[in-house]
Chain A
Amino acid sequence: MARKLTTASVASQQKTINPYSQPCFTVYSMHHSHGGGYYQYDHNFNIMAADHGTGDSSGYGSWRTYTTSATEFFESSSSYNSAQTSSAASSNAGWIVAHTPMVGYLGHMSHSSGGSGAGNMGGWTMSGRDNGPTYRSYAFRDVCPIVNETHQDYAIFSSAVANTAPVLMFLKRSATEYYNMKHNGRYAQQTTLPRNYTNREGSTENFYSTHGGCCYNKKTNKFLVMYTTSTGRFKPVVYNNVPDLREFSHNNSKMYSESAAGQSDTNSDSSLHEYFSNSANITEYQQIETWTTYNNEGGIDEARYRPICFLCDNGDIVAFVQYNAGVNFWRWKGSDQTHDQRQTDSSLSQNGHYHHKMSWTTLYGYEQGRQFGSRWQVSSDGKFAWAYCASYYYGAGAYVMMVRISDGKLLRYQTSDSGDGRHPFPIGPSSMGWSNTANGDGGAGMRIGAIDLKYEMDNRNYGDELGLDGVYMAHNFECGHYSTTYPCCIPAKYDTSLFCSEPHMPNISEL
């Protein structure tokens, strides 16, 4: 009997995982006496997982204090701000989860992010009594922007500050790992940088280092180091032909990890150190004048030692600098490496020094505690980035600068909210999610929306305001409690490459 041969269809080599089905963010709440939970959503705003406690009993799962412990969190009291959501951001200090600076590239400071491999775990608190975030906040302060990177699974940290050489660390995308490496072992993924460069007046001097004031542009293979002075006179230096820093962050670069020198525990004896010390790799930009955010706006450490910088594909540099009553944008031109002092953009308040200014009332930076100050995030495709901070005291309201990395086009936003924080997060290939930690009373849930930055950048003028608070969808995102509660958003750390790279799917942001 003859057999009948059939031909099996060839398995498609197109996408194997729908990138939109990955975790995107988790809404978290825990009212100290009424319950709450974690509610995780994907990039289509569909719920993926929920872990909920009703708070109506005294046993496990109650999400409240039971005798001597908050039963879910092994906490001695649920009054700790890193766990409870009973308090609005307002003018409160402490570790309130609703504060705007609580989220950044590294997720949420107090609650670990769900990721692609997290199963149905939307998130979880770090160690109790507010201690977890006190350790993780170092990383949120020191992490440097990475742009044009489709594999956002690593982080670069600039940890030294003031009158000392910059110290860079190339690690995984984890605030906890940074704390470990910073305090327990420095190994080969660290290097110091030179700091003697030419100032605006033509003399050389030793510049100061900053917290997080660098930017790696993966597409152009360039790395920006923003130096400063005691008065906040910023001086950009750009490294060219940078080796693959993602490789190095994962400690699997042949160039470095296989060399004996690269394995050295010191930070000045490695081939990476040699690269960063070679002046042939460097392009100096012009230092700004003596008119600085620190000197002329508000003299806090955040204003001189913590610029959030983005290095664009055309060589332009934009920086977001917070002071004690607002923010300044600064800009440099890639064409001739000079400080961009133009005053021709009608949507911006250029004064010949700064590129733009937004201001309102009292605002604090990292000098009041390393959990405060400016943050940044980047879209999944790496083509859009945003820097932001609170606009009211420690953590309410927001100032935002949004940047198209290809050409440095800017959009901006200010919300003068004295009550609630704002938590942005990347969503889809090129969009920015925007959430409000406002009171969910009445069943409003957490107010969340998304902005397609590719569309908005294409359709708005340079420097225009983009009304982020107009995008919210109330009553769509559970926050675990019908009465007073101030939920927070935990950005997920998913596989960004699925949105952009073969073989998963074509670069959909370019379709």
Chain B
Amino acid sequence: MSFIVYNKVDNHAIGVYDTELAAQNNTSPSDPTYIIVEYEWKETDYLVSIKMNADGVTLSNKFPGKTIEEQKSLIEIEDATKRLASQFAFKTEKIKMDSADYIRELKWKLTRARDNDLVNGNSDSTKEVLAEIDSIRSKSNAAEVALSALTTEEEVIAFDVKEQFN
């Protein structure tokens, strides 16, 4: 039997030890992020494949029956997928944040336009600024569509958000 130190927050194993004492020596007991779980370690287990079961107290290999090399390859594919998702999430958030910032910067224009319209007795200036704001929203939506069409991590990293609003 082995004892595994496990990071509950980020869901990954950190070390496998022969005794519970050895595992305790490698984790801080006051930190609830890390727990020690007893586990029947097998020669074909790859530590990175060991994950917490739904019961929250036992562990298992997420790639049973696979060789260690096969598990490594599968995890590399998973990691690449995670990195791509993370880059998508960041760029999507950035599009929204930049869009909000650009719109916020037009606030003074809107105030001025309403003042002008009040004096002139029409809504021309306001409509003009609202069209400008709408254009930012359209560019933001178009940017998200363009981003979602990308397929590789390199492409997403290279995606220039600022350029989308020019």
- Residues of A participating in the B interface, judged by any CB pair closer than 8 Å: 32-33, 58, 64-68, 76-77, 79, 86-88, 90-92, 360-362, 392, 415-420, 438-439, 441-442, 444, 447, 449, 467-475
Contacts and interface: CB of A to CB of B under 8 A. Distances in A.
A67 B102 contact: yes
B110 interface: no
Contacts of B86: 86-87
B114 to A, nearest CB: 23
Nearest to A94: B157
A66 B13 CA distance: 37
Nearest to A93: B83
Interface string B1-20: 00001010110111110000
Contact of B28 (A79, A92, A474): A474
12 contacts: A33-B93, A86-B90, A87-B86, A88-B10, A361-B46, A417-B14, A419-B12, A442-B33, A444-B31, A467-B22, A473-B28, A474-B28
A415 B10 contact: no
Interface of B: 5, 7, 9-10, 12-16, 22, 24-28, 30-31, 33, 46-48, 72, 75-76, 79, 83, 86, 90-91, 93-94, 97-98, 100-102, 104-105, 157, 161-162
Given A79-B94, A473-B28, A67 B48 contact: no
Contacts of B9: 438-439, 441-442
Contacts of B161: 77
Nearest to A469: B26
A470 B28 contact: yes
A470 B12 contact: no
Contacts, number: 105
B83 A438 contact: no
In the A-B complex, the 5 residue pairs with the closest CB atoms: A467-B25, A474-B31, A472-B28, A418-B48, A67-B101
Contact of B26 (A76, A86, A441, A467): A467
Given A77-B161, A79-B90, A417-B14, A470 B98 contact: no
A443 B161 CA distance: 32
A227 B108 CA distance: 68
Contacts of B15: 415-417, 469
Contacts of B13: 416, 418
A447 B10 contact: no
A68 B83 CA distance: 24
Contacts of A469: 5, 14-15, 26-28
B162 A33 contact: no
B141 to A, nearest CB: 18
